[in-house]
Structure 1
């Protein structure tokens, strides 16, 4: 009998290798698509701008720019269309729509096209208000608005909607609209108040047409408020319970607006203190920042109040984050005020002849201190002992570490500057400035940051001792839930986030047929008693639910 040769085994690439190849392919394809879309949009905007010009003929000037626009349009455009046709054929697969690369592509192009269109629109509006026609800005507005509309359509369409980062571009767009609206609102109200203050003070301003700047700012306000309201209310960003939405609410909706409001209050108080105690300068110079300061306080305060009210409904975790960022803003103002007051006091001791300048410096420090100290005190509440849940909160620990870490770095830099000034004084004793005059500014910074470092480091050590004594580290709440499920999970995400206060990340099952998943109540019940920072929650198939605590 002849020996039979066994058939060779089929060699298959490892599954991880296939996933890596798919990830690299998507990264390259979507990066190339983004580049081609931008190139095509620039080319179309250039050609459209020439068509909108009142002068003719189209190729009479700027042949190089025209050639570039034609190349971008006629080469970049067809290539972008061809690549998009290839991409959209794959988007029927949930694996493709669930890739991070697709979510990143839509996020980047959505936000970039919106920002470029808005910037060009405001430029065109400003030119029109000043009696000029800007065809380039108008063409850029139309072109990039179409790009934004196209990507918004893809973001909302079921067949092309990303399964990851679905709401990220909406949150960023809402934050962008809020920032634009704040800038426009402050400019509009500030311009009107400045004109009213100049009228009351009988201050003459050279030149006419004062109304143009406020009108431009009003247009900016309307555009920014429209973008914000469209995403905040129509796309329901205000009700999102994702971790990124919470970060956007706290950082932009609360922190940025609070900083705007408090800065406006501090500057307005500074102007009033100068009018009362530092009358040496002309009224036009003293009153110059008052209108903008009042506008910043009013506009920032209204925006802050609205977003703070929304944050109240987001659970204890978000409310603690709001208190921490507010105390951080107040702490920065307080520390700055202490440093400036000490600087001004030393300046008055060594240079009493320059009383006016020293008094102005002192009043600026007092303004920051008067505004910042109450904000820090009311939000941090140093005399109140925090409850165990607050002590064990990761956000509080991160806040303390960041505060005393940054203050230590600033104190070190100030100490080095003081050392440099000391050696400079020793090596150049003939210099005009005294030793105190040389070191008073960095000394003020050093004292303020040393106080901040000492206090927050002591609080951090006390919290650590309490956590160790009571075992709070093992009883901390769930911070993140990784939900593994199939089908529509929006209701499940909202239910878990509302019940636990944790951020929810969805991993979708790769299935050929749809399956049923448990309801939100069953998932929440499975999380009861789980104390890990991260939990893997398996939902389905059928009624199966399993919560797996993950190690840090």
Structure 2
């Protein structure tokens, strides 16, 4: 009941603060605008006043009640407080930062926006909300005991994505300005756009450095922080780099052998591909280095994520190569599209193969449980994709057989797309299943045999018997001296024979109790 109450109260506080931020930004923008009396302005003013005057006092009163509960909050309540504060901080950060970057970019780029008042209102209104929320989350007596660093981690993730996207846009604009000049008759030229993009890069970089260095997100080692760094800084950057590398190879592969066509491909998507390649490689290498001082599990998972991405690209490329080869022999109408598909498939195969071999290392010794999970996961995903592709192939085959066939469409041309996917995913699935089975056998062979235990309760003078048993491989012997009289040599020999027979017939660990007549009673041990 306490958790439900906290969820409702913090949800109401979040809603009220969102309304207050909207109202404040509207009021500020209207205060900066030229005075004018019309129906639209009156409606906007009424909305701004309603969103400010009503939610503001209610939010203050609700916060006054909530903050008393935060002093002795339960773990669930603390987690809800952290989620609510982090959500509001992230929303305010996104709105205010994009508004200030749009304003500065338009001013530096020479195209000052006509709605600068709205952007200033967004910056001041939502900036005030974000700063207040950040202060409350970092005040010592209000710091949540659960998920205390969630807000700064999410802010760092947003700043990282914004910085990466801004850098791609800036590099792309610069490459277009140098290599693909265009005559601009109407609109903004490339140089002002480049200056505006540089402002976005600088602003996003400052925002990221503030979270990463000053707020010390870089030093966080909790599970969520490591997950975010691995997901965005490594996985997303690696995916961007590999796709951009494949796109760049797509430009360079001479299919057909025509430099004019290569130039057209470069003008079409070359700047975007090179910009994404450089940006992704920078972010990937930096964050890959940041993982070295984290736990070995994080490092292994990051390597397996990259190998999974590489293998997915490799499988896609194989499917496209099969598709292109089938297209080239199925119909002469595909003569124009088949080289483009083949070129893209070859590029994906080359990039995927290089990075998959580098990060997966198929000839290496099997790793701990994480690799087995990776193999099972990839086998399952590829098997599902293969099943879907098989169903599509079957559907199209039966559609051709049952329905009226078009004279311009043959069977091979109709099924070549899903057939390529089917062949590629079947190969991937079979390989991962075979590798998983091989790893399981290797790991089983490397595991030491389970040591059997024998607890022997025997009379005094059984040292010779104990020495003989200790020579048995894989047997741990413990001797407990009983109060019975010592055994004769004949009884010791008979007892030794019975012990060896009992060890052969009884699996597992045993408790053996010998009496003065040389009889043995065996009891299995757990």
Same structural fold, with TM-score higher than 0.5 when normalized by the shorter chain: yes
SS of the equivalent of 1:61 reads helix
Judged with a 3 Å threshold, the aligned counterparts in structure 2 of structure 1 residues 114 and 265 are, in CA distance, closer, same or farther, namely same
Q: Tell me, yes or no, if structure 1 residue 158 matches structure 2 residue 156.
A: no
Q: How many angstroms apart in 2 are the aligned matches of 1:142 and 1:449?
A: 53
SS at match of 2:253: helix
1:412 paired to 2:387: yes
Offset from partner CA, 1:371-429 (integer Å, 9 cap, x none): 1111001111111122xxx233xx32332232122212211221111112112222222
Q: For residues 168-209 of structure 1, what are the alpha-carbon distances to aligned partners after superposition, in whole Å with 9 as ceiling and x for unaligned? A: 22112111111101100010011111221125xxx6565561
Residue in 2 aligned with 1:484? none
Deviations, residues 202-229 of structure 1 (Å, cap 9, x unaligned): x656556122332332222222212211
Q: 2:3 touches 2:76 (CA, 8 Å); kept in 1? A: no
Please tell me whether residue 132 in structure 1 is matched to residue 119 in structure 2.
Answer: no
Residue in 2 that maps onto 1:224: 204
Task: For residues 108-144 of structure 1, give each alpha carbon's deviation from its aligned partner in whole angstroms, at most 9, with x where no partner exists.
Answer: 1121211122233344345444232322222112211
1:433 aligned onto 2:409: yes
Counterparts of 1:387-398 in structure 2, within 5 Å, are: 390-392=367-369, 395-398=370-373
139 and 97 in structure 1: CA distance in 2 versus 1, 3 angstrom threshold: farther
SS at match of 1:103: helix
Q: How does 1:219-298 map to 2 (within 5 A)?
A: 219-274=199-254, 277-279=257-259, 281=261, 283-298=263-278
Q: Which residue of 1 aligns with 2:150?
A: 168
- Does residue 348 of structure 2 align to residue 339 of structure 1? no
Matched, 1:186 2:181: no
- Where do 5+ consecutive residues of structure 1 fail to align? 1-20, 475-552
Preserved contact between residue 183 and residue 220 of structure 1 (Cα < 8 Å):
no
What is the CA-CA distance between 1:469 and the residue it aligns to? 5.8
Whether the aligned pair in 2 keeps the contact of 1:278 and 1:360 (CA below 8 Å) is no
- Are residues 1:324 and 2:304 paired? yes
Find the counterpart in structure 2 of residue 457 from structure 1.
433
Aligned residues: 444
Q: Where does residue 345 of structure 2 map in the other structure?
A: 365
Q: CA deviation at 1:268?
A: 1.2
| Higher Cα Rg, which structure | 2
- Change in CA separation of 1:469 and 1:383 when aligned onto 2, cut-off 3 Å: closer
Q: 1:98, CA displacement in angstroms?
A: 6.2
- Uncovered stretches (5+) of structure 2, i.e. residues with no partner: 451-526
Q: Deviation per CA, 1:73-100: give whole Å up to 9, x if none.
A: 1101110111111122333225479622
1:456 and 1:96, CA in 2 relative to 1: closer, same or farther beyond 3 A?
Answer: closer
State whether structure 2 residue 173 is matched by structure 1 residue 198.
Answer: no
Q: 3-state SS of the aligned residue for 1:225?
A: helix
C-alpha separation in 2, matches of 1:111 and 1:396: 35
Conserved? CA contact 1:271–1:287, under 8 Å: no
**In the TM superposition, what is the alpha-carbon distance from 1:355 to its structure 2 partner?**
2.6
- Give the TM-score normalised by the residue count of structure 2: 0.79
TM-score by length of 1: 0.76
Q: Report if the CA contact (8 A) 1:274-1:286 is conserved.
A: no
Q: Which of the residues 74, 78, 93 maps onto 1:114?
A: 93
Q: Contact 1:348/1:355 (CA < 8 Å) preserved in 2?
A: yes
After TM superposition, the structure 1 stretch with the greater mean CA deviation from structure 2, 172-181 or 84-93, is 84-93
Corresponding residue of 2:374? 399
Residue matched to 2:514: none
Aligned partners of 1:262 and 1:371 also within 8 Å: yes
C-alpha separation between the residues in 1 aligned to 2:194 and 2:342? 33
For residues 300-325 of structure 1, what are the alpha-carbon distances to aligned partners after superposition, in whole Å with 9 as ceiling and x for unaligned?
Answer: 11111110001111131111011101
> Does the CA contact (< 8 Å) of 1:338 and 1:448 recur in 2?
yes
Q: Is the 8 A contact 1:337 1:364 kept in 2?
A: yes
CA contact (8 A) 1:47 1:70 kept: yes
Distance in 2, matches of 1:112 and 1:131, equals 25
- Confirm or deny: 8 A CA contact 2:100 2:120 kept in the other structure: yes
For 1:96 and 1:164, the matched residues in 2 are separated by 6
